[in-house]
Amino acid sequence: MAVKRKSEFRKIMKKYWKNGTAVLGTCLLVFFIIVAVFAPQIAGVNEMGNNYQIPRVSWSSKPIAPTSEHPFGVIGGRDIFYGVVWGTRTAFRLGLIITGFSALIGVAIGSISAYFGGWVDEILMRIVDIFLSIPFLVAAMVMTTILGKGLDKVIIALIIFGWMSTARLIRGNILQAREEQYVLAAKALGQKDWKIIMKHILPNTIFPVVVQMSMRIGSYVITAAGLSFLGVGAEPGYADWGTILSYSRNWMTMLNESWFAIVFPGTAMVLFVLAWNLVGDALRDIFDPRMRS
Amino acid sequence: MDSKNALLQVKDLRTYFHTEDGIVKAVDGVTFDVYSGETLGIVGESGCGKSVTSLSVMRLLDEKGEIAGGKIIFEGRDVMAIPESQMMKIRGNDMAMIFQEPMTALNPVFTVGFQIMEAILLHQDVNKEQARTMAIDMLRKVGIPEPEKRVDEYPHELSGGMRQRAMIAMALSCNPKLLFADEPTTALDVTIQAQILELMKSLQEQYGMALVMITHDLGVIAEMAQRVVVMYAGKVVEYAEVLTLFKKPRHPYTWGLMNAIPKLDEDKEVLYNIPGVVPDPLDFPDGCRFNTRCPLATDKCRKEEPPLVEVEENHTSACWYVDKLVEMIKVSRAGEGA
């Protein structure tokens, strides 16, 4: 039996590795993980204190082009290489925490809504509508302004305004799955209600959420960077890709002197988003047996 | 037959659905018995309440449906009085059901083996290894080739006929005493249909279970059933042994259904069909519910509902004009003979 299972798993993995985009996504992700884990070895540590503060290397605000000492250059007196490398950790933290918590809230609210139906459903879905009616970025900006500066505040703001689409997705999926004949068939076999939910309804509804989550990890990093760029995100000097970008804001008219402050963190961001999207696609193929053939 | 020995007795069953538009009387006074080892056919057009009858007996109605009256007695126990926790043990173990659409009745994210094992583990005191062996055995019994390999395949990897076989394996895995088959062959090719029916027949003999065959296909009834309930608009209109029914139909609806079957030796441009459609369950006509489509309908039929009465031994029909029908059938059959 174990042998059989293993061969099934191997079959999937074989297919996975044959899929070029999936391999590319995984490689990128592994690369980012390595960078995040070995950040102290790659970029060193901040001897002045907090490692997540990019150390000052110059007191002049003028950008300094890449040199062997500062391979990605310097902007606002901060070493961009250090910021990009340590920013990888920030990106993972942002993406995983925001997505994890907003998915948790979304799944809880969506399942409650679908399971109980009636007025509970009505109230919860109207709340979702209210939250959705506020433009996401504006809402997040207002929240961070109220809560104050700092990365943890950004995380809270994005969780508060990030759970609705998951709630809707899971609610719709559960409502659909509940009507499926295999649910009736399971009941006809004498299966218990909660087991039907756990075994038959959730597995058929949770995969789209997992796929959606992995794709959103990337997009949350972009949003958080956007907030930092607008000055309502992380504190100045924090090792965060958006923060580095925000330094380049004052030099936008002189791109020939400051391009490196945009290109390096920007590339990191694009590749990060790409990695999660490709992995999301691959996850869908793995999770859904219908996609395997 | 003495109805006291019946495995299942359904007496004057009424199942109503409460919808926004009003009360739908999907099943409205249905009575029949099922005996161990026999096959009872329930036949009628779509929307006659055939499936609702079986769902009512298994107490699987959704929250809108309600058993509004009547009695269901299974092995001498009143099904309606059994607590839900007990009912779960009965479902799958004593009563099981197979469905029309084998694609949607199997969960797409699990292997067929997993799903059969689930049924076995639920009702039998065995471990996973044993359950797996039993599942493979079951797949072999229903005629799936290479069961050791198929057991690890997903529903989408099997053909329609295979899926229905897997469904049957699942339903029979706990050796139920009573099996409801709700249009089990409707979604399949004709050749596969014949195979599945053959399979069900031989499994029935092997296990000695009672089978309730729900279908709109009189051909399936002729093949499988010993006794037949003909349903129309939530009511039983005729109830007879299968040979009697085909030889001597005593309700215009049954006669109409029989006429709608094309015959091999006839060359017709247009097949006969019963004019009209099944009436809206929210708005059944007064009197006999078949009066809107019946060639024999009179004012009496439009006012008074005919009771289900015995026309001969073990043969009941609900029609005011059985005599006229007999006359009509005689004329029609004489015409065919000429």
ipTM of the complex: 0.79
What gap in Å lies between CA B191 and CA B78, rounded to an integer? 40
- Give me the mean pLDDT over the B87-110 stretch: 87
Q: Is B10 helix (H, G, I), strand (E, B) or coil?
A: strand
Residue A290 contacts B where some CB pair is shorter than 8 Å:
yes
**CA proximity to B308, closest of B31, B24, B6, B15:** B31
* The CATH homologous superfamily of the domain defined by A46-55+66-291: MetI-like (1.10.3720.10)
**Are the C-beta atoms of residues B70 and B14 closer than 8 Å to each other?**
yes
Contact B92 A181 (CB under 8 A): no
Average pLDDT per consecutive 10 residues, chain A (293 residues; last block may be shorter): 57 77 90 92 79 80 80 84 90 92 92 86 94 88 85 89 91 86 87 83 83 87 86 83 85 81 90 91 74 55
Residue A133 contacts B where some CB pair is shorter than 8 Å:
no
Taking the CA of residue A135 as centre, how many other CA atoms within 13 Å lie in the half-sphere pointing to its CB?
4
Surface of A (185-224) touching B: CB under 8 A: 185-192, 199-200, 203-204, 207
Q: What is the pLDDT of residues B105-120, one digit of tens each?
A: 888 888 899 999 988 9
Give the helix/strand (H/E) hosting B289. Answer: none
Look at chain B and count its residues.
338
- Residue-wise DSSP of B152-220: TS-GGGS-HHHHHHHHHHHHHTT--SEEEEESTTTTS-HHHHHHHHHHHHHHHHHHT-EEEEEES-HHH
CA A199 to chain CA centroid, Å, is 27
What gap in Å lies between CA B66 and CA B25, rounded to an integer? 10
pTM: 0.75
Residues of A in Cβ contact (< 8 Å) with B112: none
CA B113 to chain CA centroid, Å, is 27
Is the pLDDT at B13 greater than 80? The verdict is yes
**CA proximity to B184, closest of B159, B203, B161, B207:** B161
Torsion of CA A205, A207, A212, A215, to 10 degrees: 180
Question: Looking at residue B195, what is its pLDDT?
Answer: 86
Does residue B279 come out as left (phi exceeding 0), alpha (psi in the -120 to 50 range) or beta?
beta
Domain boundaries, chain A: 46-55+66-291
pLDDT band, residue B213 (cuts 50/70/90): very high
Contact A185 B105 (CB under 8 A): yes
Residue B101 contacts A where some CB pair is shorter than 8 Å:
yes
Is the pLDDT at B250 greater than 90? The verdict is yes
**Are the C-beta atoms of residues B278 and B293 closer than 8 Å to each other?**
no
Q: What is the pLDDT of residues B79-92, one digit of tens each?
A: 999 998 899 889 98
Place of tokens 């295979």: B162
Residue B123 contacts A where some CB pair is shorter than 8 Å:
yes
What gap in Å lies between CA A38 and CA A53, rounded to an integer? 17
Q: What is the pLDDT of residues B291-328, one digit of tens each?
A: 988 888 889 999 999 999 999 888 999 999 999 999 88
Q: How far is CA A50 from CA A47, A60, A238, B2, B125, in A?
A: 8, 22, 10, 89, 60
Nearest-by-Cβ selection for A190 from B92, B108, B157: B92
What gap in Å lies between CA A113 and CA B10, rounded to an integer? 38
Contact partners, residue A13, CB within 8 Å, separation at least 6: none
Contact partners, residue B255, CB within 8 Å, separation at least 6: B249, B325, B328, B329
- Give me the mean pLDDT over the B174-186 stretch: 89
First to last CA, chain B: 39
Residue B118 contacts A where some CB pair is shorter than 8 Å:
yes
Q: What is the pLDDT of residues B69-81, one digit of tens each?
A: 899 999 989 999 9
